[in-house]
Copies of this chain bind each other. A is one copy, B any other.
Amino acid sequence: MSLELAATFAALGDPTRLALVERLRGAEALAVGSLAEGLPMSRQAVSKHLAVLAEGGVVSASREGRQVLYRLEPARVAEAEAFLQAVGERWDAALGRLKAHVER
| A86 contacts across to B, CB distance below 8 A | 25
For the complex formed by this chain, how many copies does it contain in all?
2
A76 to chain B minimum Cβ distance, whole angstroms, is 10
From A10-18, A42-50, A61-69, give the one contacting chain B.
Answer: A10-18
Question: Across the interface, do B19 and A1 meet the contact criterion of CB distance under 8 Å?
Answer: yes
| Complex Cα–Cα for A84 and B81 (A) | 6
| Complex Cα–Cα for A29 and B77 (A) | 28
Q: Report the contact-size class of chain A (Cβ under 8 Å from the partner).
A: 35 or more
| A94 contacts across to B, CB distance below 8 A | 28
- A56 nearest in chain B by CB position: B13
**A75-104: which residues lie under 8 A (CB-CB) from chain B?**
77-78, 80-81, 84-88, 90-92, 94
| A6 contacts across to B, CB distance below 8 A | 12-15, 18
Q: Which 7 A-B pairs have the closest CB atoms?
A: A10-B13, A9-B12, A9-B13, A81-B84, A1-B18, A74-B91, A13-B13
